[in-house]
């Protein structure tokens, strides 16, 4: 028989809702998702929660625990302050479907707005050659499990619904950065300047480098340091580097 802990779980939909209290058993080694499942099994069979892998890899179980964006399946009960109520709420930045389940389709729309990798002309996929350093750079970004916790926590989206149309959020600016750094991406040959797109279409200028996105990333991706800041530097180069400006002028002439 484990300890009894007090959970406060948000129940409701996008229109209305409230906290519901549950006293529930907690055993050694359990994570918050185990406790949510126990509440479902013993007290609230209609409690809605999205999950899939229970291994921190599918990115489905994103929610907020004591106000902090976290994966329910990767948050050990032993890391939470004992004897205090544990408050579980849905991600705040996205509309609630029911209880802990949010509608994250905003993120899929933003994903669609980033134009895909453009393969280099005349090189077959198996013949792509890249320096190891370039492979490793994008490898870090590819660890993303699309949990959208970074999108949930970024204040540009979290506190300003009105920014949503203009700001892609850290996850998708990271994707733009990855493509812009990709040595084989031939987007420029098709007239797409990814740096200009980052600034003008995906709202890079909204990011004021608070780094909250990197802090909550369960894959420990250095979103700000390795993607957003380098992308900002590249955009600045595009604007102010005299050589780049001369080349641009020459192209226009
Ligand atoms: Fe989640 Fe990290 Fe990917 Fe953001 S970058 S969606 S926090 S895994
Ligand atoms: Fe937001 Fe991350 Fe920038 S939290 S403000 S995208 S550094
Ligand atoms: Fe897959 Fe938590 S259930 S990441």
**Per-residue pLDDT tens over the stretch 95-121:** 999 999 999 999 999 999 999 999 999
Residue with tokens 């990333």: 217
Ligand nearest to the CA of 72: 3
Q: In this predicted structure, what is the pLDDT of residue 62?
A: 98
Query: In a mutational test of the pocket of ligand 2, which residue from 223, 229, 233 has the highest number of ligand atoms less than 8 Å from its CB?
Result: 223
Ranges of each domain in the chain:
3-102, 105-252
Please tell me the number of the ligand nearest to residue 148's CA: 1
Is 69 a pocket residue for ligand 3 (Cβ < 6 Å)? no
Is the CB of 73 within 6 Å of ligand 1? Answer: no
Instruction: Provide the whole-model pTM.
Output: 0.93
Give residue 92's pLDDT: 97
Q: What pLDDT is stored for residue 252 in this prediction?
A: 63
What would the mean pLDDT of 42-52 be, rounded to a whole number?
Answer: 98
Q: Is the pLDDT of residue 134 over 80?
A: yes
Sequence length of the chain is: 253
223-246 confidence digits (pLDDT tens)? 999 999 999 999 998 776 666 666
Q: Estimate to the nearest angstrom the gap between the alpha carbon of 63 and the chain centroid.
A: 12
Q: Is the ipTM of this complex over 0.95?
A: yes
Looking at domain 105-252, its CATH superfamily turns out to be Alpha-helical ferredoxin (1.10.1060.10)
Per-residue confidence (pLDDT) for residue 82, from 0 to 100: 86
Reported as a single tens digit per residue, the pLDDT across 143-168 is 999 999 999 999 999 999 999 999 99
pLDDT at 187: 95
183, two tokens: 């040595």
pLDDT of 209 strictly over 90: yes
Ligand 3 atom with the shortest distance to the CA of 56: 4
* Cβ neighbour number for residue 15 with a 10 Å cutoff: 6
Distance (Å) from CA 24 to ligand 3 centroid: 22
The CATH class given to the 3-102 domain equals alpha beta
Considering just the CA atoms, what is the radius of gyration of the chain in Å? Answer: 22
CB of residue 227 inside a 6 A radius of ligand 2: no
DSSP state of 120: P
* CA–CA dist 153, 150 (Å, integer): 5
């Amino acid at each position: 028989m484990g300890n009894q802990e007090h959970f406060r779980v948000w129940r409701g939909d996008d229109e209305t809702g409230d906290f519901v209290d549950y006293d529930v058993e907690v055993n050694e080694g359990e994570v918050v998702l185990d406790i949510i499942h126990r509440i479902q099994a013993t007290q609230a069979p209609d409690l809605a929660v999205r999950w899939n892998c229970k291994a921190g890899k599918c990115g489905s179980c994103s929610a907020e625990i004591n106000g902090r964006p976290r994966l329910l399946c990767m948050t050990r009960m032993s890391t939470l302050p004992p004897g205090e109520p544990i408050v579980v709420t849905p991600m705040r930045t996205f509309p609630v479907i029911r209880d802990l389940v949010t509608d994250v389709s905003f993120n899929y729309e933003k994903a669609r707005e980033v134009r895909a990798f453009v393969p280099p002309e005349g090189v077959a996929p198996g013949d792509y050659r890249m320096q190891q350093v370039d492979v490793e750079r994008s490898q870090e970004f590819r660890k993303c499990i699309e949990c959208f916790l970074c999108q949930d926590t970024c204040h540009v989206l979290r506190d300003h619904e009105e920014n949503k149309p203009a700001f892609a959020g850290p996850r998708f600016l990271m994707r733009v950065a990855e493509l812009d750094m990709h040595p084989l991406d031939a987007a420029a040959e098709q007239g797409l300047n990814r740096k200009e797109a980052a600034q003008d279409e995906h709202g890079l200028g909204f990011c004021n480098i608070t780094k909250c996105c990197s802090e909550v990333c369960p894959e420990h991706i250095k979103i700000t340091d390795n993607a957003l800041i380098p992308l900002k530097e590249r955009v600045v180069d595009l604007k102010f580097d005299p050589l780049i400006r001369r080349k641009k002028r020459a192209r226009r002439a």
